[in-house]
Amino acid sequence: MEINFNINGKTAKVDVDPAMPLLWVVRDELNLKATKFGCGAALCGACTLHIDGEAYRSCSIPVSFAAGKKVTTLEGLSESEDKLHPIQQAWMEENVPQCGYCQPGFMMAAANFLEKNPNPTDDDIKTNITNICRCGTQPRIIKAIKRAAQLSQTLTA
């Protein structure tokens, strides 16, 4: 079935099974590899992306759900590699990743969370972001989200 949606500001047209998880469409049909496969059951958050401004775990969302909507992956989060989104900027400044595999999902979850909670406490962050990282970057992720909140406020001030 042909499905159309917007991906990172461009039109995507795919001809796939409408039940195919959006994750595989994004990764293998559209060749955008930042969105990761971790569990296939919406448990780890490695596949987090945005659909119409909401964060979704794309391994468990059929591509049909995205039809006519606006999908953003990590590749589309920043304006350019020189002008980073506050989340990615903060991730650089806090030197967050280790293996790096789960980080795109964390950054996408955090970017969406910050839009709704522009000035979060540690507890807000700990309760709302439930992705999994095995390397143990959690302490830096918390710091980076708070730093990103500051960076965003500086940008909008």
Partner 1 sequence: MATEDKKTTKKFSRRKFLQRGAIIFGGTVVAVIASKGPIRRFLAQKAENMDFPLLVSTQEPSFWFEVLPDNTILYKSTKLEMGQGIFTGLAMLAAEELEVSLEQIKVVHANTANGVEDSLGTGGSNTTLSLFKPIREVAATLREMLKAQAAKQWDVPVSSIKVENGIMTSGTHKATYYEISTSTQEWETPETPALKPSSTFKYVGKDVKRIDLKPKVMGKPIFGIDQTFPDMLYAVMLQSPYIGGTLKKLNTQEATKVNGVVKIVEDNELVAVVAKNRYAAEMGLQKIEAEWDVPKKWQQAEFEALTTVGLGTDVRIQSEGSPESLLEEAPDQVFKQEYRTPLATHAHMEPHGAVAHVEKDKATMYVGTQASTLFRGAIAKAIEVETEQLNIETTYAGGSFGRRIDSKHSEKVARIAKIVGKPVHVFNTRTQEFQNAIYRPQTHHVLAAKIGKNGTIEAITHHQATPDQVLGAIPANIGYTLLGADFVSAGHGASILYNIEHKSATLWQNKQPVHTGIWRSVGMFPNTFAIESFINELAHKTGKDPLKMRLELLAGNEQINQRYKTVLETLAEKSGWNQPKAAGIGRGIAIGNDRKSIAAAVIEVAIVNNQIQVKKVTQVLDAGLAINPEGIRMQVEGATMMGITAALYEGLTIKDGQITATNFHEYPMTKLSDTPEIEVIILEGHSEPYGVGEPPLAPVAPAIAAAVFDLTGKNLRTLPLKLS
Q: Does 24 bind partner 1 (CB under 8 A)?
A: yes
Residue closer to partner 1, measured from CB, 118 or 139: 139
Residue closer to partner 1, measured from CB, 67 or 132: 132
Q: Does 67 bind partner 1 (CB under 8 A)?
A: no
Q: Does 139 bind partner 1 (CB under 8 A)?
A: yes
Please name the residues in contact with 36: beta carbons below 8 A apart, sequence gap of 6 or more: 46, 47, 101, 102, 104, 105
Backbone φ/ψ region at 144: left (φ over 0), alpha (ψ -120 to 50), beta: alpha
How far apart are CB 129 and partner 1 at their closest, in Å?
5
Among 4, 52, 54, 92, binds partner 1 (CB under 8 A): 92
Using alpha carbons only, give the angle 19, 20, 25 rounded to the nearest 5 degrees: 145
Residue closer to partner 1, measured from CB, 31 or 154: 31
What b/e string do you get for 11-47 counting C-beta neighbours within 10 Å, with b at 16 or more?
Answer: ebebebeeebbbbbbbbebbebebbbebeeebebbbb
**Which positions lie near partner 1, rule CB under 8 A?**
16-17, 19-21, 24, 28-29, 31, 33-41, 43-44, 46, 73-75, 78, 81, 84, 88, 91-92, 95-104, 107, 125-127, 129-142
